[in-house]
Amino acid sequence: MFKQNVDNVDEIEVGYRINDEFWGNGYGTEAAKGCIIYAKNILGLSSVISLILKENKQSIRVAEKNGLKLEKETMFHDKIHQVYRIRFK
């Protein structure tokens, strides 16, 4: 998890990096799920985001499988990213 400033708002981002030889085994989904549970149950956050490039279909799928929904697009590090978010009740 990373603290990111998105559109002048501090956010907590769920991120992961999996070596490409291990892609397709569900490790990214499980890693993100663990971070989301930790953010909700231990840190008591109200939401987390994932910043994803539009062409990164695998990361979009990971986000959606973990309940994150597309919220908006924004410029981040000089590239347009999609902001996916999950809000906790």
User: What domain count does the chain have?
Assistant: 1
Across residues 18-42, what is the average pLDDT? 94
Sheet holding 2-6, edge to edge: 2-6, 9-13, 47-53, 79-87, 69-76
Residue 59 has pLDDT above 90, yes or no: yes
Question: What pLDDT does 89 receive?
Answer: 82
**Residue-range definition of the domain harbouring residue 23:** 2-87
Q: Give the CATH number, domain containing residue 20.
A: 3.40.630.30
Strand partners, 69: 85
Joined tokens for residue 39: 């953010």
Please state the rounded mean pLDDT for residues 36-63: 97
**How much is the pTM?**
0.92
Mean pLDDT of 12-24: 91
Given this model, what pLDDT does residue 23 score?
Answer: 86
Residue 39 sits at φ, ψ, to 5 deg, of -60, -40
Average pLDDT on 45-64 reads: 97
Cα Rg, the chain, nearest whole Å:
13
